[in-house]
């Protein structure tokens, strides 16, 4: 029962139409004289409401398709065909309900992003006492403490000797960054394994993370509304219907012919078929693990000309992996890897997790001490082990030699019993299906494919070459990505990303696609499409779904309009009474809807 009331609350006009129809049926038996007033009065009210809505759209520069329905309602009431008028009203309100349902709930809810925005900071006074204060109360020069795993609340300068921060959600860089005293630390970064002290460099209103929130809100508000697909057929179809109805009236001298033509000319295929096709396409996409938040998104996909990708976590996995261990001369690889993993088990560092995963089984360390942003010193199986940065290991192990690294690679060095043992080489690997995805988009006719990333130029171009992208925009902050999207000539633009730093550009693009399986909630909230599986090839599938859905919608419209045109010709000769014509038009609805439901067919997963 609660579901029924919820639907009534969401679609009151359609519910009211059904109620009036039931009440009219009761009155037909008990109070026949009231039926014309009930049905006719309600139909005219709906016609006036639709006319007001249509007038507002006309002032906004959009010609809708409701004028035919309004004219048909008024004409059927004037000739006394009240039930025919109510059937048209049911079609009109039902179409509005379907379109509203297809659009779904508002997708521009930024609550998740706002909830994650730091609100409290730990300020340190001159007496070294710590007080929790609102972030907005911080001023330049304040000293704050950021504890393990906390977000940096505002842009700061590091006061501690060193610190390590995960800035992937801000810059897109997948590897943790090490900062030394005096270095800038961006708001929104996650502190590493040791508390650090920082000096406020900018107030909250001017800090990086808060600027991202503002960018998302600004991009959201600048989106232009989509013109309904069906509205493009409004002018020619309306002109043809009025012409046939007018000629029938003039030729017969009977005004009822005009009403009888308009009843079957009521644009049911336009009002109902397209929303049904879009709902079917959205349902199909959901079963493929692709959440499309509005029907307008499918139409934008249909017209898409450019696709841009973020790098980290989108084209790449977003997690560093060990690709090799390079031993020093004479060092046994298995021996060195096991002992290094024993030491790294004591660390919470992202790179430590990658090393222990690479090693598999490892002995437990007897002692272990981690020096923040430098490395780990441990003992295991009677050996002294150091694992970490180059300068840290070089100071502890003789014979140190720096690894020869390629763009996008990082080394973690190992020393055992005072001698250099080798280096782990890590890289954020390109997704195995990334190149196939780019190739699939080109095969689908998307010729302009770009990469927008916060990474350095060398690393960005290395990944781009691997996946087959030539247009590279590197070292981009969130606002740079937004500017790049606005600069693309071929539109609409599809943007694919996953982190908080991608939220503004996902909102700014005509179609934003978030990799939601691992990506930030902020990106998912600001995107038009969320891919639930950690599978970038779903971008190609989303594009195909959008194109095929619109094609089916167009086919259903053409089928419905062809049938309506045939009925108009029959109605012009006076052999189709208005009430019969209204039911025939409902039959056209059924055919159009069944055709539109072909869009629900799902691709193999």
The pLDDT of residue 267 is 63
pLDDT at position 113 is: 45
Give the confidence band of 111 by pLDDT, cuts at 50, 70, 90: very low
Q: Where residue 224 falls among pLDDT bands split at 50, 70, 90?
A: very low
What domains does the chain contain, in order, with CATH numbers? 119-153+155-201 (2.70.150.10), 290-316+431-544 (3.40.50.1000), 321-427 (3.40.1110.10)
Q: How many beta carbons lie within 10 A of that of residue 233, not counting itself?
A: 19
Average pLDDT value for residue range 443-467: 89
Whole-number pLDDT of residue 228: 57
CA dist 358 and 431 (Å) reads 18
**By the 8 A CB rule, do 260 and 89 touch?**
no
Question: With contact defined as beta carbons under 8 Å apart, do 71 and 241 qualify?
Answer: no
**Tens of pLDDT, residues 328-355:** 999 999 999 999 999 998 786 768 888 9
Residue 104: per-residue pLDDT = 44
Bigger pLDDT: 516 vs 139? 139
Q: Which residue has the higher pLDDT, 563 or 223?
A: 563
**310 is an active site residue:** yes
Q: SS3 for 500?
A: helix
Measuring CA to CA, how many Å separate 468 from each of 301, 451, 585?
22, 10, 52
CA-based R_g, the chain, Å: 32
pLDDT at position 110: 38
Provide the pLDDT for residue 510: 93
Q: Taking 60 as the threshold, does the pLDDT of residue 63 lie above it?
A: no
Q: Which pLDDT belongs to residue 327?
A: 96
As a whole number of angstroms, the distance between CA 431 and CA 451 comes to 15
pLDDT score for 574: 80
pLDDT at 220: 45
Position 419 scores a pLDDT of 96
Q: How far apart are CA 4 and CA 100, in angstroms?
A: 17
CA distances (Å), origin 406, targets 335, 409, 410, 428, 532: 26, 6, 8, 12, 32
The pLDDT value given to residue 523: 62
pLDDT bin (cut points 50, 70, 90) of residue 483 is very high
Say what the pLDDT of residue 604 is: 45
pLDDT grade, residue 52 (50/70/90)?
A: confident
pLDDT digits (tens, 9 = 90+) for 65-110: 567 777 777 777 877 777 777 777 877 777 667 656 544 433 333 3
Between residues 458 and 272, the one the model is more confident about = 458
- State yes or no: pLDDT of 377 exceeds 90: yes
**Burial group, residue 60, by CB count within 10 angstroms (0-12, 13-18, 19+):** exposed
Residue 597: predicted pLDDT: 74
Say what the pLDDT of residue 372 is: 66
Reduce the DSSP state of residue 47 to 3 states and report it: helix
Q: Which of 310, 428, 448, 502 is catalytic?
A: 310
The model's confidence at residue 453, banded by pLDDT at 50, 70 and 90, is: confident
pLDDT at 248 over 80: yes
Q: What is the mean pLDDT of residues 158-183?
A: 79
């Amino acid at each position: 029962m609660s579901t029924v009331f919820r639907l009534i609350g969401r679609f009151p006009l359609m519910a009211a139409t059904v109620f009036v129809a039931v009440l009219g049926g009761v009155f037909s038996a008990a109070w026949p004289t009231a039926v014309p007033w009930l049905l006719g009065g309600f139909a005219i009210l709906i016609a006036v409401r639709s006319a007001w809505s249509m007038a507002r759209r006309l002032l906004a520069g959009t010609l809708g398709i409701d004028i035919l329905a309004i004219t048909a309602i008024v004409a059927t009431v004037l000739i006394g065909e009240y039930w025919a008028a109510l059937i048209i009203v049911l079609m009109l309100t039902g179409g509005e309900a379907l379109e509203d349902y297809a659009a779904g709930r508002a997708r521009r809810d930024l609550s998740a992003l706002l909830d994650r925005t730091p609100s409290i900071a730990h300020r340190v006074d001159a007496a070294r006492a710590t007080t929790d204060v609102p972030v907005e109360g911080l001023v330049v020069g304040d000293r704050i403490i950021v504890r393990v795993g906390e977000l940096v609340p505002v842009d700061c300068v590091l006061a501690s000797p060193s610190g390590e921060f995960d800035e992937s959600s801000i810059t897109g860089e997948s590897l943790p960054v090490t900062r030394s005293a005096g270095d800038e630390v961006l708001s929104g970064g996650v502190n590493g394994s040791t508390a650090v002290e920082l000096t406020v460099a900018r107030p909250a209103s001017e800090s990086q993370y808060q600027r991202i929130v503002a960018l998302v809100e600004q991009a959201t508000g600048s989106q232009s509304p989509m013109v309904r697909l069906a509205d493009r057929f409004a002018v020619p179809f309306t002109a043809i219907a009025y012409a046939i109805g007018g000629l029938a009236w003039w030729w017969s001298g009977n005004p009822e012919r005009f009403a009888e033509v308009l009843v079957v000319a009521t644009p049911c295929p336009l009002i109902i078929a397209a929303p049904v096709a879009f709902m079917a396409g959205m349902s199909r996409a959901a079963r493929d693990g692709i959440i499309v938040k509005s029907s307008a998104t499918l139409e934008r996909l249909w017209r898409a000309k450019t696709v841009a990708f973020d790098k980290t976590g989108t084209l790449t996995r977003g997690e560093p992996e060990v690709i090799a261990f390079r031993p020093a001369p004479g060092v046994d690889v298995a021996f060195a890897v096991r002992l290094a993993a024993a030491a790294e088990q004591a660390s919470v560092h992202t790179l430590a997790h990658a090393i222990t995963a690479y090693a598999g089984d490892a002995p437990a360390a007897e002692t272990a001490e981690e020096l923040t942003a430098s490395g780990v010193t441990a003992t295991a199986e009677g050996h002294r082990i150091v694992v970490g940065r180059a300068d840290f290991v070089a100071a502890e192990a003789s014979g140190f030699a720096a690894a020869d690294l390629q763009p996008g690679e990082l080394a973690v060095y190992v020393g055992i019993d005072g001698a250099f043992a080798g280096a782990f080489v890590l890289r954020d690997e390109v997704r195995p299906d990334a190149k196939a995805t780019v190739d699939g988009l080109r095969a689908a006719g998307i010729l302009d494919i770009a990469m927008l990333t916060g990474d350095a130029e060398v690393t960005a171009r290395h990944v781009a070459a691997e996946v087959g992208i030539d247009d590279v925009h590197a070292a981009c902050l969130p606002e740079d990505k937004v500017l790049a999207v606005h600069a693309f000539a071929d539109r609409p633009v599809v943007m694919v990303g996953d982190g908080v730093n991608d939220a503004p550009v996902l909102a700014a693009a005509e179609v934003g696609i978030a990799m939601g399986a691992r990506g930030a909630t902020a990106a998912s909230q600001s995107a038009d499409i969320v891919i639930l599986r950690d599978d970038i090839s779903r971008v190609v599938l989303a594009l195909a779904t959008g194109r095929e859905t619109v094609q089916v919608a167009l086919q259903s419209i053409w089928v419905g309009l062809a049938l309506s045109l045939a009925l108009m010709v029959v109605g012009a000769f006076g052999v189709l009474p208005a009430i019969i014509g209204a039911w025939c038009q409902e039959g056209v609805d059924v055919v159009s809807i069944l055709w539109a439901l072909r869009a629900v067919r799902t691709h193999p997963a």
